[in-house]
Structure 1
Amino acid sequence: MTPEAKARQLIDQKLESAGWVVQDMKQLNLGAGPGVAVREYPTDTGPADYLLFVDRQPVGVIEAKRDDAGANLSAHETQTERYANATLKWRKGELPLRFLYESTGQIIFFTDGADPAPRARELFHFFRPKTLADWAAQSDTLRRRLAEQMPPLPARNLRDCQVSAVTGLEKSLAANKPRALVHMATGAGKTFTAITSVYRLLKFGGAKRILFLVDTRNLGKQAHQEFMAYTPPDDARKFTELYNVQRLSSSAIDPHAQVCISTIQRMYSILSGEPIDESAEDISLNELGQAPSQARLVQYNPKVPIEEFDFIVIDECHRSIYNLWKQVLDYFDAFLIGLTATPDQRTYGFFNENVVAEYSYEQSVVDGVNVGYDVYEIETDISRAGAMLEAKEWIDHRDRQTRARRWAQTEEDTAYTATDLDKSVVNPSQIRQVIQAMKAAVEGKIFPNRTETPKTLIFAKTDSHADDIIRTVREVYGQGNAFCKKVTYRAGIDADTGKPVPGDDADSVLASFRNDYHPRIAVTVDMIATGTDVKPLEVLLFMRDVRSRGYYEQMKGRGVRSLDAESLKKVSNSADSAKTHFVLIDAVGVEKSLKTESRPLEKKPTVSLDNLLKGIAVGARDEDTVLSLGNRLVRLGKQLDDKALARIKQASGGIGLQDLARGLVQALDPDRITADALDAAHAAGITRSADSLSNDELDAARRQRVATACQPFDDPALRELIEAARREREQLIDTINIDTVTRSEYAGQAQANAEAVVRQFSDYLREHRDQIAALGFFYAQPYRRRALTFDMIEDLHDALQRPPLMLTTERLWSAYARVQESKVKGNGIRRQLTDLVSLVRFALGMDEELRPFAESVDKRFADWVFRHNARRATAFTPEQMAWLRLVKDHIASSCRIEREDFDYAQLADKGGLQKAWAVFGEELDGLLVEMNEELVA
């Protein structure tokens, strides 16, 4: 078949699958179907390769080229236009044909002549006849509407960054740019921005259907909730009252849906015919890594044609679209709109470097949309240097999946490193030391004033690791099951039956973690690593390393969401301000580990070979060794999953693990040895019976059988793969090596952040001394001190905590504690608003130490009472001292006391002003003036 004939054959097949009736000119029958493609239709410039008729009217032309001409198709556009403008034989007065194709069968380019500045674009397949009929019936095209009919964007209820993103995107679409990237920091409202654009594209752009693509089912659910909650700026109804939104849970797309939400895994399944693993939709594609190489390619699906969607919004596009899954995006003829907080070089390249909006994390912090973070590092001896398990130690061996244990000796000396932890070896002491260090740091240094544990998220390496962490957290904190939960969709495995058992409902746990008091700590592998919104989070503990820069930034992003004071107090009652920052606790060196733009698949650590494999490799052929290895492989084969077995089969040259084991066992089968010996004798022309075989002949047959069975194990790669699979499947529980914390401190970046906070505070005091009354009080002469009021302190506090400073009293105190630790006292007590007085005095150099304001008042009160009693004929009575202490406490919490204050709280409970006057008489007013001056000075 010539190249031209091959191309025509492919074109015919694709046209027919799209619903066209393909005919030669000699068999012309325009009534054969709604769409007819006629080969070699005559025109006044020569025959067109294919002329397309819809409902008997000519609408388009296909210029077919040989299948090796794909690189030069653009050179033939002039030829296609010539046929489109030619006079068709037997037809008069026809307008130029609108729909133009150039194709080799493998490659298809398409131009719509009605578009503004018509431009060819590559297609996966041909359009259906109905699609061309619908387009021909419309007064304008989608691209013309995008260029000419999009009204200005109302900015109401939108942040500046969201307005910039929507307008930038619409400008890009008006210019007919096929791909656009929206880079917005986590927490800036990417989904809200996307829904705003989707609404406008449906209402004003006339889009038929839009695909909202995610990479986990949880993100799809979250997006659907946001669509249901969205109210457009020009209509009082909800989005879902105006447009149908379908969250895809099967292969059937609702023909009435204007928005379809789907995981990219499910859409790939629909287009490839590959059965979908429902559980795969719960795992981020970051965790799945590259798709399997033997996976099927996407094929044309007439039920979901390439024109099914006009736009595809790709949520978290940094991690879903660069391998097998990219076929989903290549399939549809749609504008691609990417949303991400963490673009990398691949992202920019895929979207043709067309960044229509850029809103960085740093800018979001300045704007108060997000909060900053500090890094606190925990290092233990074993997490730094590993440990050694000596041979013949009796320890637990635990199955990773079922968690069933067996008590056995180690077979050889096993040295393990930090990368082996919680994979091939579990050291409970190491996990315990990290959790204890976290607890001590959070309670003593990071959030010393909290009475409850701040909402904390722990990232674990595996589900098994997560279970170990959960049990340790509950033990260390002395709390019950509700305190710490795992967030996962995966079912657990019953250790006795080996069957899946349902766990806590993931959505319920996540909702409780977000909105309720319990759980205080959540542990996850990846389900809420990206995209999921948990605003009250204030601590992230990394107990797994991450080598992908983008994925790491996404994981950090779980903590950046800002939250107002009232909302934070609902779940963390002792929080006394809005969320000002979060703390990243690094227990694995994740902040310092080398990050790559594209995350490589994690490789199993190199492990020493099993003694039986070693023996076979060096020539051991005794019966015990061969049978023992065969039996070991039989057991292992029953434990491994299909992927591990497939890897072993590939490495062995196509022999499965069970066949390798069977070969070893059958190599020593006496009947088979006898049969081989008889065959060898027969081949040598010697007649033998089984009884007459010599020992040498039997030994030779045995040696040959064993050698053949053992030959695959000469390959060190296969031996290593088998041993690694066994180690992956089974974990050693090291209770022998006890770990110790070697370092628990803020990281250098946190120190730098603290120094920056201190500088900001000092600069602010200097620059605003004339604008804020409280600052004027501190800068003025001592006699002015009596003018300080609680309202002044509140005004100063409000000014400091607003963006861009966001300097709450707690954050300032923590910063000074890091920068000048030896001069800061009272870290472990809860901050009061009046502690701002102490902070200002310390910053201005009026005090040599930073102490809680109440503590300073206590000291000044003791000095004042001593001086006052020395001047009086009689000391204060016990009753008077009790009242004076109440007055002192009020000043400590409010900076000042006036007569009317006796109507409040404890003063009123003791009898108020009337009782105080009875106790002190006319001396009361003078004492109050004196205490206001002395205790706040």
Structure 2
Amino acid sequence: MSEVKVRERIDEMLNDAGWVVQDAKGQQDLFASRGVAVREVTTAAGRADYLLYVDRKLVGVVEAKQEGADLTAAQGQADRYAEGLTNTQTMRAWRTPLPYRYVSDGNRVLFRNTQDPDSRTRSIFGFPRPETVARWMREAEANREAPTYRARLRSGLPALDPAEVASGRLRPAQFDAVNGLEAALRRNSPRSLIQMATGAGKTYAAVTACYRLLKYAKAERILFLVDRNNLGNQALSEFSNYTTPDDGRKFTELYNVDQLTGTGMLASSKVVVSTIQRLSRILSGQENVDARDYTEPSAFESEEKGEDGDRPIGVSYNRRLPPESFDLIIIDECHRSIYGKWRSVLEYFDAHLLGLTATPVAQTFAFFGGEEGLVSEYTYEQAVADGVAVDYLTYRIRTEIAEQGSVIPVDTFVPIKNRRTRRTRYEELDDDFTYTGQQIGSKVISTDQLRVALSAFRDNLSVIFPDRVSRPNSSPMVPKTLIFAKDDNHADEVVEMTRTIFGRGDDFSKKITGKAKAPDRLLSEFRNTPELRIAVTVDMIATGTDVRAIECVFFLRDIRSWSYFEQMRGRGSRVIDSNELRAVTPDVEEKTRFIVVDAIGVTESHKRETRSITDERDVKRLALRKLLEKTAGDGVTEDEAEELALRLTRLSRKLTQDEQEEIARLAEGKSLDSIAGQIMRTVDVDRVVAMRGEAEAAGEDPDHAVYWAVQDAVAPLASNRELRSLLINIRTEQRIVYDEVSQDTLISAAHVENAPAVVNDWQQYIRDHRDEIAALQIALTGDTGRDITPREAYRQLKDLASRIARPPHQWTIARLWRAYEQLGKATAAPGAMHGPPDLVSIIRYELGLDGELRPYRSVVEDRFANFIARQSQAGVTFTPDELWWLERIVDTMAVSVRFDAEDLERVPFTERGGIDGFLRTFGDDRAVDLLERLDRELTA
């Protein structure tokens, strides 16, 4: 844009913000509006593009530059105008020099308020409304020492009192989080990130920060963003229940907390709660923004389903919600979509952005400023160690169909349900219907797989939860259980099956999803009543939702995203007061851990940190339908073609045999992989460079050559409407097949160790009991300097094994060994029965005495082999009779750690005369020497 066009665009921007624009050469009327912008005004330093008046007082300057100009350099020009006023302008000025200074090229606006401490230019979406500037002026006049919000953050915000921790109002991690945020605000950092484990009190810490900013820094307004309606209601409850530390009044008695509506917000609102979806609809000018749309999935769920690929939201100036509306925006459980789809929504506002999350990924750290932006970090492991969260165990249920899938034979009549209408019809299969375990719940529902998995859960409740208290004439209650289903239809089937398996009624198990009737009421019922034991959900309770009494998180769906899985698993980690727990689950004393039940392999499948369909280029990610439509329209770009190829490749991995054959029929024998491969080869970087070089050498337009090569590559799709329709229908499959034929078989149902946690806790136990462990190790070697018999040493070892096997640790030696195996630190010994001697190996490994962890028997046998080799090198040989005695002694040592001469009077030694036989075989002196040497060289 030329400078003239830029001025026209700036005029529009000023008008949008409520300013009346006038020409300096014309008749000026400063009474025309509260805010007047006068164009092309001569100052003592030259001609300013705009001077800004509020309530007839000169307050600021705007410098216009043509598109592409260096706006940072232009800021110096605005400074000269702000400082070089004529006498008349100085008389009219509210403050001199003028504090509010703007530079714009019609696209970007840079702003500097020189009243801020260490004032810094920042980019803003648009000009502030005159009413906003008038408020800034009043605040500055009321407090000359701290005239702006940023100044009040520096001088008016007192340090957080450590007594808040001592009194129990704040946990140490919450104290650190609030402190870290306030330090970042004082530094005028644009963004901050608080990483805090699920259940550790992120929201409470955020409410504490809000209270302090409103009270001491006089923040005008704060926005609290969530991505589900129920999380917004939960946030409102947190604000309402917050008791202020000063006089004990509730937060909402002092400050208005409201939800954002389609008409904007109340002028009196100090905290506004909204979903980011609603906010984006307001800023993008969409209708029906007040619809309470519970069916809209969270960002985590959209990503999981591959439906987060819509192009970034376009926003425009909104007078009801101007960019300066908020001083702080808190993004609860910030998802990666804030860096793409909704980034423009957040950057519309001139506010500090605070992210709250338990599961940050690389992009999260990058968006919030890396290490500098991470103001507080409190991991799940720390929370468990501090008693702020509870640990978990995994219970794995394996069935044949979940592991291997199944086949419904040809000619079978199968029920097929339409997902949208829920209508069921029966079809006879023309061919075998083959499905994998990963397709259960989405493409097919295996009724017997569901029955077997839930039956295994029911039948093993006493194993999974051994601490249940039996009640007279009644079996233990099912702990509050949250089951994750694949989608809403799957959830319906799970609810019906749980009622059938447990023989209970409707109040026992219910679906709580966005499509359920009155989901907030159902969620409250699950949280507060003892009757509702099992809640089946898809996404609504997956992130952020607080149901402290949950003791079991049950997965009937796989999850590909690490952060989403952590969010879902974290629903069980919250601590709960024992009385509060017994109010809904009477037969349990306290919640010391929760159980993850995995019936689909979710704990074993590969998890990615975040989706990586696109590279670092600025590709607008379109839905597959739109990409396919573009091939037949104006064509696709290189980047869009690459995206299309990647989407098709991913889709091809999910195709059934029937779908593959139908695609080949429509595509003249080509597979979807071959079509995608041709597109990918065409847009390969080296190929594109070569095409451009060839075109230039031939005197042709290289862009034109690449464009047509791309269109040729997508031609099999562009020219085939039926194929495109088939691919879209496969992607949005509306049918789900019910397998009522295949019979499932339970493979196993057992606890799976959380190996890192087990080993870490055991290592801490060793540190806490180092003296005892060291004394035991010395006793086992026989080098104590006092008379401890091998039998006494073995008794001490068994005592230790017995103590650690009891609650709260419950570390059997087999369990410890299995944990080390899973971490790759121990030699696997399939079928081995691990006993007390293997505890010796573990202790020696942790004390650094052995470089590798092997079964104790293996160690003793290797040492014996080395002993025999050394004797042979020294010219000492053993007869078969002598070897019989030595090998039996080695067997005894492998079981009892050390050898006691009294053992010679037990089987099998008594078969050959016991002690007398041993002495006859080796002679008195040699026999005693051999026992001492074997005890010294073979044992611990």
TM-score (norm 2): 0.68
- Secondary structure in 2 aligned to 1:97? coil
Q: Verify the 8 A CA contact 2:394 2:751 in the aligned structure 1.
A: yes
Query: What whole-Å deviation, never above 9, does each CA across 1:818-850 have from its counterpart, x for those lacking one?
Result: 4599xxxxxxxxxxxxxxxxxx9xx99xxxxxx
Change (3 A) 1:325 1:439: same
Establish whether residue 734 from structure 1 lines up as the match of residue 747 from structure 2: no
The corresponding residue for 2:916 is: none
The corresponding residue for 2:110 is: 109
Amino acid at match of 1:348: F
Amino acid at match of 1:517: P
Q: Verify the 8 A CA contact 2:295 2:514 in the aligned structure 1.
A: no
Change (3 A) 1:436 1:764: farther
Residue 255 (structure 2) aligned to one of 229, 243, 246: 243
Q: Verify the 8 A CA contact 1:312 1:337 in the aligned structure 2.
A: yes
- Name the CA distance, whole Å, in 1 between partners of 2:574 and 2:423: 40
Q: Verify the 8 A CA contact 1:400 1:731 in the aligned structure 2.
A: yes
- Name the CA distance, whole Å, in 2 between partners of 1:119 and 1:486: 52
Change (3 A) 1:531 1:296: closer
CA shift at 1:250, angstroms?
3.8
Change (3 A) 1:611 1:199: closer
The corresponding residue for 1:415 is: 434
The corresponding residue for 2:85 is: 87
Q: Verify the 8 A CA contact 2:39 2:49 in the aligned structure 1.
A: yes
- Name the CA distance, whole Å, in 2 between partners of 1:106 and 1:162: 40
The corresponding residue for 2:575 is: 562
Query: What whole-Å deviation, never above 9, does each CA across 1:689-716 have from its counterpart, x for those lacking one?
Result: xxxxxxxxxxxxxxxxxxxxx9988468
CA shift at 1:305, angstroms?
1.1
Residue 379 (structure 2) aligned to one of 360, 375, 397: 360
Establish whether residue 750 from structure 1 lines up as the match of residue 767 from structure 2: no
- Secondary structure in 1 aligned to 2:183? helix
TM-score (norm 1): 0.68
Residue 74 (structure 1) aligned to one of 57, 72, 75: 72
Query: What whole-Å deviation, never above 9, does each CA across 1:123-161 have from its counterpart, x for those lacking one?
Result: 111111222222123231000000111112231411111
- Secondary structure in 2 aligned to 1:47? strand
- Name the CA distance, whole Å, in 1 between partners of 2:551 and 2:667: 56
The corresponding residue for 1:37 is: 37
- Name the CA distance, whole Å, in 2 between partners of 1:61 and 1:428: 71
The corresponding residue for 1:300 is: 317
- Name the CA distance, whole Å, in 2 between partners of 1:612 and 1:756: 52
CA shift at 1:490, angstroms?
1.0
Query: What whole-Å deviation, never above 9, does each CA across 1:554-607 have from its counterpart, x for those lacking one?
Result: 11110111223333222222223x211111112222222222222479966223
Change (3 A) 1:751 1:299: closer
Q: Verify the 8 A CA contact 2:395 2:464 in the aligned structure 1.
A: no
Q: Verify the 8 A CA contact 1:470 1:484 in the aligned structure 2.
A: yes
The corresponding residue for 1:724 is: 730
The corresponding residue for 1:457 is: 482
Within 5 Å, which residues of 2 pair with 1:753-832? 753-754=757-758, 810-813=807-810, 818=815
CA RMSD of aligned residues (A): 3.3
- Name the CA distance, whole Å, in 1 between partners of 2:467 and 2:762: 19
The corresponding residue for 1:342 is: 359
Residue 158 (structure 1) aligned to one of 170, 180, 184: 170
- Name the CA distance, whole Å, in 2 between partners of 1:751 and 1:81: 62
- Secondary structure in 2 aligned to 1:300? coil
Change (3 A) 1:89 1:392: farther
Q: Verify the 8 A CA contact 1:484 1:523 in the aligned structure 2.
A: yes
Query: What whole-Å deviation, never above 9, does each CA across 1:413-438 have from its counterpart, x for those lacking one?
Result: 32211222122211111111211222
CA shift at 1:401, angstroms?
3.0
Establish whether residue 318 from structure 1 lines up as the match of residue 318 from structure 2: no
CA shift at 1:207, angstroms?
0.9
The corresponding residue for 1:702 is: none
Change (3 A) 1:268 1:96: same
Query: What whole-Å deviation, never above 9, does each CA across 1:769-791 have from its counterpart, x for those lacking one?
Result: 9xxxxxxxxxxxxxxxxxxxxxx
- Name the CA distance, whole Å, in 2 between partners of 1:711 and 1:281: 33
Q: Verify the 8 A CA contact 1:758 1:815 in the aligned structure 2.
A: no
Change (3 A) 1:568 1:810: farther
The corresponding residue for 1:20 is: 19
The corresponding residue for 1:571 is: 584
- Name the CA distance, whole Å, in 1 between partners of 2:759 and 2:13: 66
Change (3 A) 1:421 1:561: same
- Name the CA distance, whole Å, in 2 between partners of 1:618 and 1:233: 70
Residue 530 (structure 1) aligned to one of 530, 538, 543: 543
The corresponding residue for 1:403 is: 422
Q: Verify the 8 A CA contact 1:181 1:356 in the aligned structure 2.
A: yes
Residue 299 (structure 2) aligned to one of 282, 285, 291: 285
- Name the CA distance, whole Å, in 1 between partners of 2:103 and 2:111: 7
Within 5 Å, which residues of 2 pair with 1:473-872? 473-491=498-516, 503=517, 505-576=518-589, 578-599=590-611, 605-609=654-658, 617=666, 714=720, 717-718=723-724, 720-721=726-727, 724=730, 728-747=733-752, 749-750=753-754, 753-754=757-758, 810-813=807-810, 818=815
CA shift at 1:762, angstroms?
7.5
The corresponding residue for 2:8 is: 9
- Name the CA distance, whole Å, in 1 between partners of 2:660 and 2:139: 75
The corresponding residue for 1:675 is: none
Change (3 A) 1:282 1:731: closer
CA shift at 1:171, angstroms?
0.9
Change (3 A) 1:283 1:447: farther
- Secondary structure in 1 aligned to 2:61? strand
Query: What whole-Å deviation, never above 9, does each CA across 1:2-58 have from its counterpart, x for those lacking one?
Result: 621221111111011111111222113323222221221111221011111222221
Q: Verify the 8 A CA contact 1:52 1:59 in the aligned structure 2.
A: yes
Residue 407 (structure 2) aligned to one of 378, 388, 391: 388
Change (3 A) 1:257 1:73: same
- Name the CA distance, whole Å, in 1 between partners of 2:360 and 2:520: 28
Q: Verify the 8 A CA contact 1:342 1:554 in the aligned structure 2.
A: yes
- Name the CA distance, whole Å, in 2 between partners of 1:725 and 1:330: 33
- Name the CA distance, whole Å, in 2 between partners of 1:176 and 1:755: 43
The percentage of aligned residue pairs carrying the same residue is 41
Query: What whole-Å deviation, never above 9, does each CA across 1:884-926 have from its counterpart, x for those lacking one?
Result: xxxxxxxxxxxxxxxxxxxxxxxxxxxxxxxxxxxxxxxxxxx
CA shift at 1:754, angstroms?
4.8
- Name the CA distance, whole Å, in 1 between partners of 2:337 and 2:68: 31
Q: Verify the 8 A CA contact 2:263 2:320 in the aligned structure 1.
A: no
Per mean C-alpha deviation after superposition, the further-off stretch among 82-91 and 306-315 is: 82-91
The corresponding residue for 2:448 is: 429
Establish whether residue 196 from structure 1 lines up as the match of residue 201 from structure 2: no
- Name the CA distance, whole Å, in 2 between partners of 1:205 and 1:310: 10
- Secondary structure in 2 aligned to 1:279? coil
Q: Verify the 8 A CA contact 1:51 1:62 in the aligned structure 2.
A: yes
Amino acid at match of 2:67: D
Amino acid at match of 2:114: G
Change (3 A) 1:615 1:236: closer
Residue 141 (structure 1) aligned to one of 126, 148, 158: 148
- Name the CA distance, whole Å, in 2 between partners of 1:453 and 1:87: 78
Q: Verify the 8 A CA contact 1:67 1:105 in the aligned structure 2.
A: yes
Q: Verify the 8 A CA contact 1:755 1:815 in the aligned structure 2.
A: no
CA shift at 1:455, angstroms?
1.4
